[in-house]
Structure 1
Amino acid sequence: MNLPTRSLTQPLGGAHGDTSPGWNERRRFLASGLCCGVATALGVFSLPQAFGFAPARWPADVQALWQQAWAGVRPEQVLDVHVHLLGHTAHAPDDDAGAWIHPRTLSPLALGDWVRRTAIEHASGVAGRRAELSAVYLQRLAALWAEFPPGAKPLLLAFDAAVAADGRVDAEHTMFRTGNAYAGAAARQHGWGWIASVHPNRPDAIDRLQAAHAQGARAVKWLPSAMGIDPSLPRHRRFYAELARLKLPLLSHAGEEKAVTGANAHEALNPLLLRPALGEGVRVILAHCASLGQARDLDHPHQALVPAFELFARLMDDPSLGARVHGDISAITQVNRSPGVLRTLLQRRDWHGRLLFGSDYPLPALAWLTSVPRLARAGLLDAQDVSALERLQALNPLAFDFALKRRLQWQGEGFAPAVFETARHLGGA
């Protein structure tokens, strides 16, 4: 396993963390390293793991930090709403009982996709174990999650293929596919929950929704840019009506997406395109709070692009949408996110009842993707927490992500416990 060339205590940015234009450019370059070969050359794929050490064997300050992270939070109400499920069991992308990875990701000749897959496999602890990738991934996830208090659960994400307008699966533009039956079975095996994924272009999309609901899915997951979904199209209205009837939330990526290619329909990640779903009564969870990238302001189409997070905020503050707009806080601490986004999310206490905890696992295991010292320099963490958090990241990246987000603060404001008690939004604990 390649280890980071950067020390865990060595900052990625300059003395002021994130303010210089040069650092902003370098940060964007590194953060998009999942799509460039530089990540390979630098050896920044994953953390040096002390994996397997239970909390009782953690250093005293790490144990104390972990205990403090749970103060005021009821573990039985904690669901991690953004946990990716990797597997390699299927020979075709439309095998719902299996998990499929596009063959091109296995070749360095397709450098971008190869780097993305390699980085994620290193972070997941499954690199070099392709024949047993599916089982090892779940074993490792189970071991990491066993260190959480009883009652807390991950929600495993299914991931549908790209599907053309005529209903045919577009294998060429599908980077990977994780079937609903596969995700549901994996979740039941471990006593966890799961989130289905159904492309609305499928001729049997409504039947698939109903089947997923009957099998206990807590929500439906989309990545519009990779799947080739324009959420605003009128033909999806029936799909949205069924989501609302079944009371299944839609977890949809919004803002710029770096880790997964596919259909490359990047404009489909505009947060405002989700208004038709909201208008049909669907509760929509915008992944990452649309905290990365820019999008066209569809309310003022002749103006320049604006931060996608600004459009997320517009939806959150729209009184006509009631309480149907939510955001998950996965990925918001990564180095390609502005500290200003974190400050806003922490200060907007009126949003906290509609923010949901998510880890974006396995990405918290990528050492270079989260700089704890940078967050401390930005005034978002107590400097005394830095050392313990860095060691916890190496011991258990899932526990690290939870503890980090529990310790974030700005001008005395941290995330309310309700942000982490997500079960009430997703059908109970």
Structure 2
Amino acid sequence: MNILKRISKVFVVLLLIISILLVARELAFTGSILPPSPLPTQAKIIDIHAHIAGIGAGGSGCYVSPTLQENFRFNQYLAGFGLTRQELEQHGDSIAVDKIATRLRDSRAVQGVVLLALDGAVDTQGELDLPRTEIYIPNEYVAAQVKRYPDLFYFGASINPYRKDALTHLEQAKNAGAVLVKWIPNIQHIDPADPKLTAFYQKMRELKLPLLSHTGQERSFSSANDTYGDPKRLELPLSLGVTVIAAHIATTGKNQGEDNYQRILPLLPQYPNLYVDISSLTQINKLGFMDKALREPRLQGRLLYGSDFPLSNMILTSAWYFPLNLTKEDMRRINNIPNHWDRDVALKQALGVPPEVLTRSAAVLGVN
């Protein structure tokens, strides 16, 4: 009987807690950040921030460090792609691209995705340094995969500017159809503020290749130098006329005692060539930042759509994380959308992301 009484008391306490939370939600409910707006009929949405997976299977040239492969995150990332290690080993790395293509072709909302290569760290001789590299997705591999699905994908190149032949790689990437250059400086050991990179930035401007650079902390890998994620370190390429897209709006971490998000905002009025993407802003670790981004006057006209796939297809992201902005019916409806890209766009639309944010990427990248 004592056990039954204890269980009853626990049950009553739980009911009380749930009731209090439900009442608190009703009192604190604010609705969408901005009034949701439908997309124009002929709108074209391009996701400028989507990763691909590869372990080197099938001669892809991709590489994932043993440390990262042994990390608990690795299998979670593969699950986000809808993959297993066994599938990659059996069918080759290109199966990841095939699966992404199938999902994208089924999407009603998104018409194109920029698939991102990722260069590795570089040694003092300007050569690829695999022992210091977390992940390496070669340009040649991504460019070849994009050519298999030219109606769906755009090529996002990645060149570590410390390579001894970096300018040649940059021209090769442009000739192969690259629409931007992607960096994660924190793990590639790139200092965006290094004056030695001036010639590289000048070539980027000449080739009209935007720089999509991670800003803020980096916690998706086993180690990182977060000093290089300081958005203020992007002032050099901005001052040289490079179009820069600061990924995630620097919404994590601090530098020099100041939040990285606060460090990027003063740069926007100064540099009209600075854009940001909203990838990752619906993740549970970024709650509140979508609200800040949509209400910040300095970000108006600078926001671009990105998903950060596969992170957007993992437990990190869910409509259920927005009970103060979305009704129960909306959260249920959005979470039940089977297609990842349609679900991602529907969530952002419901939160109040304006149509022009979702459709601006094509103009910034200069693509049709």
1:415 aligns with 2:319: no
Which residue does the alignment assign to 1:331? 280
* Matched residue type, 1:254: T
Alpha-carbon shift at residue 203 of structure 1 (Å): 0.6
Q: Match for 1:117 among 70, 74, 80?
A: 74
Query: Given that residues 67 and 222 in structure 2 are in contact (C-alpha distance below 8 angstroms), is that contact kept between their aligned partners in structure 1?
Result: no
Q: Which secondary structure state, in structure 2, belongs to the residue aligned with residue 278 of structure 1? A: helix
1:101 aligns with 2:101: no
Change (3 A) 1:83 1:197: same
Equivalent-residue separation in structure 2 for 1:418 and 1:261 (angstroms): 32
Equivalent-residue separation in structure 1 for 2:147 and 2:108 (angstroms): 19
Query: Given that residues 179 and 365 in structure 2 are in contact (C-alpha distance below 8 angstroms), is that contact kept between their aligned partners in structure 1?
Result: yes
Alpha-carbon shift at residue 150 of structure 1 (Å): 8.6
Which residue does the alignment assign to 1:74? 42
Which residue does the alignment assign to 1:376? 323
- CA RMSD between the two structures: 2.4
Matched residue count: 334
Change (3 A) 1:315 1:382: farther
Equivalent-residue separation in structure 2 for 1:190 and 1:328 (angstroms): 24
Query: Given that residues 105 and 175 in structure 1 are in contact (C-alpha distance below 8 angstroms), is that contact kept between their aligned partners in structure 2?
Result: yes
1:312 aligns with 2:274: no
Query: Given that residues 160 and 188 in structure 2 are in contact (C-alpha distance below 8 angstroms), is that contact kept between their aligned partners in structure 1?
Result: yes
1:161 aligns with 2:133: no
* Matched residue type, 1:426: L
Alpha-carbon shift at residue 133 of structure 1 (Å): 5.0
Q: Which secondary structure state, in structure 2, belongs to the residue aligned with residue 406 of structure 1? A: helix
Which residue does the alignment assign to 2:170? 209
Query: Given that residues 180 and 212 in structure 1 are in contact (C-alpha distance below 8 angstroms), is that contact kept between their aligned partners in structure 2?
Result: yes
Query: Given that residues 244 and 283 in structure 1 are in contact (C-alpha distance below 8 angstroms), is that contact kept between their aligned partners in structure 2?
Result: yes
Alpha-carbon shift at residue 176 of structure 1 (Å): 1.3
- For structure 2, which runs of at least 5 residues remain unmatched after alignment? 1-17, 26-35
- For structure 1, which runs of at least 5 residues remain unmatched after alignment? 1-10, 18-67, 108-113, 297-304
Identity of aligned residues (%): 28
Query: Given that residues 164 and 228 in structure 1 are in contact (C-alpha distance below 8 angstroms), is that contact kept between their aligned partners in structure 2?
Result: no
Equivalent-residue separation in structure 1 for 2:227 and 2:109 (angstroms): 41
Equivalent-residue separation in structure 2 for 1:229 and 1:246 (angstroms): 21
TM-score, length-scaled by structure 1: 0.73
Which residue does the alignment assign to 1:293? 253
Query: Which has the greater radius of gyration?
Result: 2
1:88 aligns with 2:55: yes
Equivalent-residue separation in structure 2 for 1:326 and 1:154 (angstroms): 18
Residues 190-269 of structure 1 aligned to structure 2 (within 5 Å): 190-191=149-150, 192-261=153-222, 264-269=224-229
Map Cα deviations across residues 317-376 of structure 1 (whole Å, 9 max, x no partner).
32xx2x21100110011111141x211211236634221100111112212x12423323
Which residue does the alignment assign to 1:388? 333
Q: Which secondary structure state, in structure 1, belongs to the residue aligned with residue 163 of structure 2? A: coil
Equivalent-residue separation in structure 1 for 2:37 and 2:172 (angstroms): 37
TM-score, length-scaled by structure 2: 0.84
1:140 aligns with 2:71: no
